Amino acid sequence: GKQTLLELGGKDVTEDFWGLHRHEVLDKYQRLKKGRVTDAPPPRPSALEESKKFSKVPFAEPAVFQGLPLPYFNKSHYALRKAMREFMADPEIIDDAFECEETMNGPSKEVRKKMAAAGLTAMGLGPGEHLKLVPGGLLGGVVKPEEFDHFHEMIVQEERVRHFCPGWEDGLEGGNAISIPVILKYGNEWMKKEVLPPLIMGDTVSCLSITEAYAGSDVAAIRTTAKKDASGENYVVAGTKKWITAGQYSDWFVTAVRTGGKNAAGVSMILVPKSDQVICSKIKTKYSSAAGTVFIAYEDAVVPTKCLFGKEGKGFQIIMSNFNHERWMICVVNLARARKCTEETFKWAMQRKIFGTKLVEQAVIREKLAQMFSSLETVTALQYEVTYSMCQKGSQSPLLGGRIALLKYTVTRICHLIADNAVQILGGRGVTRTGMGRIVEAFHRVYKIPAVYGGSEEILADLAVRMAIKAFPAEAKL
């Protein structure tokens, strides 16, 4: 405005600029550039170009990508992260992410298909034969299906959330990533031939429909029913589901139903196609409605019996077996967000000046940063341990249930610490949706959600201890 020009016109405002604006502002207003002073340093790359590179800010990247050798990673992992970083910097993808996050509309079909064609949907499901369904290869062949492991999958999940548009991110893959694995593991041949390929290529979308207003962590208490009609060839599904991610966009609903009596033994899993009897109503949550989170009413939806997964009464086992991978994925995504939030906070502490010195010169600020750094690195080590075990024994190994539960509990707890410290360091900017604090504000707004879905942190902490008690050797004494 006028007052700013009168106050600062003709002066070096470099320090003031970096105290008020993000780097991308320079890209946005390139048309206002008039020239360069003769003794200026070399021009810095655009924000878009910088976003394609690995950050040199300490702790902004996992240590292995900042020079620390670790045995879990090989050249293909480095190549995949580099390719993912560059792919996600596509302006079409960035524009779609920010537009959807703001308007709360769903991801565009074009972007969904572009990302699926590059193999992102397939890679987000983990290792397996489904990776060969991508005609053009995984990101053009940067990694082969037969060498793809859970560390590759981890990298894909980490890189796809760097734009910090969580509603858009979950609207794209939040439903697919937790529902398609059920089709891969328990689906019959017609599902794998007819349903799976369009899902992998982004032509259709699926979601996992388990939670009800009546039953959250207590999955065995679900009330939605599936009863056979007079012909015996169809199920009639009736009931409701709540907080179903990506349900708004879904063509297929991997649904928990009650086909028998009470408790877990009466639960089955069934693949319900979208129809006029499957009614989705948008739910407004803490993050953008671009996630497509819905309340679902099954109003006597007719579903062929061939859509049953496995046998009647085996649904609870299917649900439980799917949880390990889902919870691990939740951990990966939210730890990546916490790391990005930490980088933003560190940058701000290094450039913000207060009382004549950098903010980072304050001992209390350094203590908060130390808490953030140590929490990140500690839980990352646990995540790598779990991921390596998944590569060796599979995600459903009985040895992993308790450790994945503890991983999720620990991740959601350190996310609380990091979000709180970040807002305290950024002050008012940390609670402002735009500008310097955009990423910190977004993280603080949504970090709590993963502490609830996929199993609340209290339930998972208790699960881990109960599993330890069960495995406790009877002869062990002090």
Q: What is the pLDDT along the chain (478 residues), one digit of tens a residue?
A: 788 888 888 888 888 888 888 888 888 888 888 788 888 888 888 888 988 999 999 999 999 999 999 999 999 999 999 999 999 999 999 999 999 999 999 999 999 999 999 999 999 999 999 999 999 999 999 999 999 999 999 999 999 999 999 999 999 999 999 999 999 999 999 999 999 999 999 999 999 999 999 887 788 899 999 999 999 999 999 999 999 999 999 999 999 999 998 889 999 999 999 999 999 999 998 888 999 999 999 999 999 999 999 999 999 999 988 889 999 999 999 999 999 999 999 999 999 988 889 999 999 999 999 999 999 999 999 999 999 999 999 988 888 999 999 999 999 999 999 999 999 999 999 999 999 999 999 999 999 999 998 889 999 999 999 999 999 999 999 9
How many CB atoms within 10 Å of residue 35? Answer: 6
Spatial distance between the Cα atoms of 207 and 334, rounded to a whole number of angstroms = 20
Q: Which of 109, 101, 134 is nearest to 119 (CA)?
A: 134
pLDDT at residue 32, rounded to an integer: 83
**DSSP code, position 436:** G
User: Residue 358: what residue type?
Assistant: K
DSSP H/E element including 201: none
The 3-state DSSP class for residue 443 equals: helix
**Helix, strand, coil share (%) of the chain residues, nearest 5:** 55, 10, 30
Rounded to the nearest 10 degrees, what angle do helices 91-103 and 109-117 cross at? 140
Spatial distance between the Cα atoms of 336 and 164, rounded to a whole number of angstroms = 10
Please report which residue ranges of 187-279 form alpha helices under DSSP H. Answer: 189-190, 196-200
The two counts, helices (H) then strands (E), for the chain are 18, 9
Cα–Cα distances in Å, from 373 out to 348, 387, 403, 475?
Answer: 15, 21, 22, 40
Can you tell me which residue has the tokens 């179903």? Answer: 244
pLDDT at residue 7, rounded to an integer: 86
Cβ atoms of 303 and 272 within 8 Å: the answer is yes
The 3-state DSSP class for residue 294 equals: strand
Can you tell me which residue has the tokens 């320079």? Answer: 26
pLDDT at residue 279, rounded to an integer: 98
Rounded to the nearest 10 degrees, what angle do helices 75-87 and 150-159 cross at? 20
The tally of CA atoms less than 13 A away on the side-chain side of residue 219 is: 25
Spatial distance between the Cα atoms of 23 and 46, rounded to a whole number of angstroms = 8
Long-range contacts of 62-69 (CB under 8 A, 24+ apart): 62/339, 62/380, 63/377, 63/380
Total residue length of the chain: 478
Phi, psi at residue 59, to the nearest 5°? 70, 5
Cα–Cα distances in Å, from 470 out to 12, 113, 324?
Answer: 67, 46, 18
User: Residue 98: what residue type?
Assistant: F
pLDDT at residue 34, rounded to an integer: 79
**DSSP code, position 248:** G
Phi, psi at residue 102, to the nearest 5°? -80, -45
pLDDT at residue 455, rounded to an integer: 87
pLDDT at residue 40, rounded to an integer: 82
pLDDT at residue 378, rounded to an integer: 96
